Amino acid sequence: MEGILVLQTFWSLAIVGMCSLVLVIQVCAAIWIKPRRIRSMLSKQGIPGPRPSSFLHGNILEMQEIQSMAVKKAQSQPQNQPISHDWAHYMFPHLLQWSQQFGPLYMYSTGNKQHLYVGRPDLIKELNHQKSLDLGRPTYLVKATEPMLGDGILKANGLYWAHQRNVIAPEFFIHRVKHMLGIMEECTIPMIREWDSLVAIGGGVADITIDEDLRTLSADIISKACFGSSYSQGKQIFAKLDALRESIFTTSLFHGLPNIRFLPTRRNRQMWRLKEEVRTLILEVVKGRQENNQSFGISDQNDLLQAILESADDSEAFQTTRDKDRFIVDNCKNIYFAGSETTSATASWGLMLLALHPEWQERVRAEIVEICGDQLHRNLLDLDKLRQLRTLTMVLQETLRLYGPGIMLTREAFAEIRLGDLTVPKGTNMWVLVPALHRDTGNWGPDANEFKPERFTRGISEACKYPQAYIPWGIGSRRCLGETFAMLQLKVILALVLSKFSFSLSPEYHHSPVFKMVLFPKHGVRLLMRRVQSSNMGTKREAY
């Protein structure tokens, strides 16, 4: 009997030892073997980069030192300097410094994560042609933003992402989006009226912080156009998504540092609470739609929410109601966030640039008069008329070049892939710094940091030497699905604002771009608004 117990103890210890050995091997592979393999493969192809200080930190300490020096340099600059559009050098100074040192293609490390910086136009073109599901969002970034975006279209990978794309993409085809123009105009007019009343109260001029109003407007448009929900419901959802974003970005999202998102810290508890509140609010919208469908036997609404609900009902992939709800909630969160934040930020930056350049403000306003005449509201519902606003299109394209909402494009290779003459090892995280591409003097010329919409006179294909390096909407199969929707919305909003107001920068405006999932003005965009003289815009213009 004692021999049997000894034997059982021996085998138990042996199993524990084997499990421990397997765990040790897996840990060593993750933090030592895999990173060395990736770096070795890249190095053999002639790709340089900064030497990691240690296998635990990689280049993080050097990144922090470069960032600290950039902050000190920015703080030492005299106040009231002219506004510069070259803001990327203090946001990601390590990437730009290493670009100058190693060229447009180099590798670096953050802990055990290996990164490949890609700034060569030919490789950007190759990325743009990539359709493989073996290329997707970096796993560690997907995990970091899970409370806010879940596993929706912006963060999902593989076949699950492909399924979501097939559901959502058709809802943003041009024949669907053109029917949303009325909603865009209808939602914008109350904001115009509010600004007009402020101008009247101010005796002909008003100092208005426009970005918050534009965020509210974009939230209202996306709520009504894609979900049919009320303004109040959309406003609550956006407010909580914004609070979630703030929580996520208080820690380093891009350095690949070990996170503590599973520990019950005060911030994590707040994040979990907000996540559940957003889920509850979205499910209330969903429940209302489902009850409406049941009452009428068939849906009387044909929008994005309905497409998501029907896809969830038809799919056999969901084993439980909770899985189905997660699919619905995650995609609603993604559309709410992407459809609102990116458009409102671009509109804010566009009006800021027009305030800086009144000559372009006048050119766009004159074009609106020429194309739309005295029937502005009716013509803004005409897709052909909107397409004829070419000067406004040029201004928006230049705004997206200098202040595009998404400034970092990321991809992870889930299998070994080929990009032109380059072999990218499995597990490599690729980074494309969009503002660096958009300010490359070799591509755009010596005036790359200046606001010059005329560079787009003959379209994107002739605006620069390598048009594939103009990527404000992303690249490849993961290019923004709502691009058409966003551009039409921007045209409607800016056309209505310019037809009613002339504007300049407020003396209180402080230029401070910051990046928290999108590029937005930290201290807001403040403009001095005045009514446009009726002689400039026609005498029969209908009142708002």
Q: Where are the domains of the chain?
A: 38-71+82-537
The neighbouring-strand residues paired with 516 are: 518
Annotated binding-site residues read 480
Please calculate the CA angle 379-384-386 and round it to the nearest 5 degrees: 60
Residue type at position 232: S
Distance (Å, whole) CA 496 – CA 537: 12
220, 234 Cβ separation under 8 angstroms: yes
The radius of gyration computed from the CA coordinates of the chain, to the nearest angstrom, equals: 26
Task: Please give the Cα distance from 294 to 406 (Å, whole number).
Answer: 40
**C-alpha to C-alpha distance for 132 and 152, rounded to whole angstroms:** 19
Write out pLDDT tens, residues 104-116: 999 999 988 999 9
Give me the residue label for tokens 């032109």: 420
Site of tokens 């970091």:
144
**Of the candidates 377, 334, 337, 351, which has an alpha carbon nearest to the alpha carbon of residue 537?**
377
CA separation for the pair 522, 483 (Å, rounded): 25
Hey, how many other C-beta atoms are within 10 angstroms of the C-beta on 446? 8
Binding residue positions for heme = 480
Length of the chain: 544
What CATH number labels 38-71+82-537? Answer: 1.10.630.10
β-strands 501-505, 429-433 pairing: unpaired
Q: Does residue 94 contact residue 63 with C-beta atoms inside 8 Å?
A: yes
> What residue ranges of the chain have pLDDT lower than 50?
255-258, 535-536, 538-541
Token pair, residue 250, equals 């208080």
Q: Do the strands 429-433 and 408-413 form a parallel or antiparallel pair, or are they unpaired?
A: antiparallel
N-term to C-term CA, the chain: 95
Which residues does residue 531 pair with via DSSP β-bridges, in sequence order? 501
Q: Are 365 and 532 in contact (CB under 8 A)?
A: yes
pLDDT (0 to 100) of residue 257 = 46
Instruction: Kindly state the tokens that stand for 29.
Output: 């592979």
Q: What is the pLDDT of residue 258?
A: 46
| Token pair 């209505």 in the structure block, residue | 496
Do the beta carbons of residue 207 and residue 508 sit within 8 Å?
yes
CA–CA dist 354, 394 (Å, integer): 12
Is the distance from CB of 371 to CB of 385 less than 8 angstroms?
Answer: yes
DSSP class per residue in 442-482: HHH-TTTTS--GGGGTT-GGGTSS-GGG--TT--GGGS-TT
Q: How does 451-468 read in b/e, with b if 16+ C-beta sit within 10 Å?
A: bbbebbeeeeeebbebeb
From residue 453, alpha-carbon distances to 88, 443, 504 in Å are: 20, 16, 18
Element (H, E) at 324: helix 321-356
**Are the CB atoms for 464 and 444 separated by under 8 Å?**
yes
Residues 124, 469: contact at Cβ < 8 Å? yes
What is the rounded CA–CA span in Å between residue 37 and residue 125? 26
Q: Which of 450, 468, 444, 238 is nearest to 342 (CA)?
A: 238
pLDDT at site 314: 76
